[in-house]
Amino acid sequence: MFLTPADRVRDYEARGLWAGESVDAMLRRAVAAGGDAETLIDPVNRRDLDGKKPERLSWRAVDARVDALAAALLDHGLRKDDIVVSQLPNTVDAVLLFLACARLGLILSPVVMQYRTHELAHVVERTAPRAFVTVPRFGGFDHAALAGTLGVPVLLFDDLHGGDPAAVAAYTAANPTVGAEVLTICWTSGTEARPKGVPRDHNHWTLNGDLVAQATGMLPGDTLLNPFPLVNIGSIGGLVMPWLALPAKKLVLHHPFDLGIFLRQIAGEGVSYTIAPPAVLTALLKQPALLASVDISSMRAIGSGSAPLSPWLIGGWKEQYGIDIANIFGSNEGASLVSSAVDVPDTADRARFFPRFGAEGQDWGGIIGRSLRTRLVGDDGSVVTEPGIAGEMRISGATTFGGYWRSPELTATAFDADGWFRTGDLFEIAGDGELSRFYRFVGRSKEIIVRGGVNISPAELDDLLAGMPQVREAATVGIPDDDLGERIAVAVVPHDGATPTLDDVKAWLRGQGVAIFKSPERLVCVDRLPRNAMNKVVRADLREMVLAALSDRSSVPRSA
């Protein structure tokens, strides 16, 4: 399936920014280079997750397993450009399915394990998939049963075997896949009420692998540890694609996040690079005895982001353990700012500043500098050229997606008249002189809540709470939290005589089939919600109202 305009494809391929080849071509080169060397490693606790023995696969075994899986998908009638929704834990199975889809030219739309009826029904409605691939049970929940209610053929991963790999070679020869074809539709939360589908081509992903590897200082032969689910750019682009592009020595998988297991994997596998939320890195740095109990000497760098990083955090890891923290500001849509030791060796600067990659008059070199264009736009629509003036970060270039999946109305508002994507995030030029080469993050202009690195749409929760019998109206907002970045708070205007509690709100959302990570953690009851002249809730005012109420414990229901 081709969505990217042909002239854009020709331009970026001619400039060498897009390779024009499939992810499968990258895999085949890695297999040829790696042969029988061990490379894809299951979580050590996999037996506790789904009852299966952890696997350790060589490059050649990965290739054979991808062929076998692709053959089974063909046997189930799946063909090029068909969409497959997957809900799989972070095991070798998820990586193999991604690679099998790349080999056949299928389009994979992966979702997190926490999604329930509410979210899955939306994904299925938007994508009209030919199949839903999942596991029978995970974490005590019957995923297969839920998938069976969605009106889509359900394929259990363990049943996908028995096909003829020779059929795959014949099929791919007759139906080759090129770089400009869509490979994935990942889901991102925004200020809109429902997740938005972000299609990305093979070209996007192969570029991402080279870009992240170079920007973070990864090296061929590195061992990478992936603690994030294989559902978006953080995991696929941040670890799986560099694993293929370098190629790395090993990709080690981790699920669900467990600090003790995480550290044991670093020590046991000789991990040299991983990613982790700021909250985890902060907690570890405050527990030197815990870090002293394991051997982390193999670790060279850690990528982090989703919340501002402090100079104390980046400096502490470097000074005490010799580990460089890379400050990453990325998105499924294509934002790719990386402040790492490669370009910003000073740890204090790395916490505060991002190189102005792709900005007019700036030449940082490297893949990001050639692939990404950035600029800041003020409230009056003018391009910000002076330091200290906040403007919305807008991006274009080879890293940027082309528009939301089957959502022309969202795409129209997401891009400006010049074709630049509006990130909704505020930055400023850091200063004069040498500092003029850097951006400083100011804040999020979007209303998205970022809890522990996970994006949560307040509008989605508002819509669901509007149907709660005890509530006249409700609005959700993020409030600051030292550990998670933000927590979810909800302000409700109760119906006369009603006294809804936080437990009531949580129970209502559970009844709507909402993922548990979206459950509010604070509740305040108010007489009215702050609104503007257009009758829209003013989230900034709401946040202040909630924080003021929470500061007076008598305003907080006992269950909160």
**CA nearest 49: which of 157, 108, 137, 171?**
137
∠ CA 357-417-196, rounded to 5°: 75
Helices (H), 353-501: 366-371, 408-414, 458-465
Q: What angle in degrees, to the nearest 10, is found between the helix axes of 92-104 and 59-75?
A: 60
Q: Which residues contact 552 (CB under 8 A, 6 or more apart)?
A: none
pLDDT band for position 560 (50/70/90)?
A: very low
How is residue 254 written in tokens? 């981790």
Residues 6+ away with beta carbon under 8 Å from 481: 451, 487
Q: Is the pTM of this model over 0.85?
A: yes
366 three-class SS: helix
Structure tokens at 17: 């920014």
The predicted model gives 287-313 an average pLDDT of 91
By residue count, the chain amounts to 560
- Class of CATH domain 449-555: alpha beta
Helix H or strand E segment including 539: helix 539-551
**Residue 213 φ then ψ, to 5°:** -60, -45
Domain boundaries, the chain: 449-555
pLDDT digits (tens, 9 = 90+) for 499-545: 999 999 999 999 999 999 999 999 999 999 998 755 678 888 999 99
Q: What is the pLDDT of residues 210-245, one digit of tens each?
A: 999 999 999 999 999 999 999 999 999 999 999 999
CA separation (Å) from 382 to 319, 358, 391, 415, 474?
A: 42, 18, 9, 15, 36
Looking at this protein, which amino acid is placed at residue 134?
A: T
Stronger pLDDT, 466 or 72, i.e. the higher one: 72
pLDDT of 445 strictly over 70: no
Quote the CA–CA distance of 438 and 362 in Å, as a whole number. Answer: 9
C-alpha dihedral sign at 329, 331, 337, 342: positive
Two tokens, residue 449: 């809540």
Is residue 225 within 8 A of residue 252, CB to CB? The reply is yes
Query: Which of the 8 DSSP states describes residue 441?
Result: E
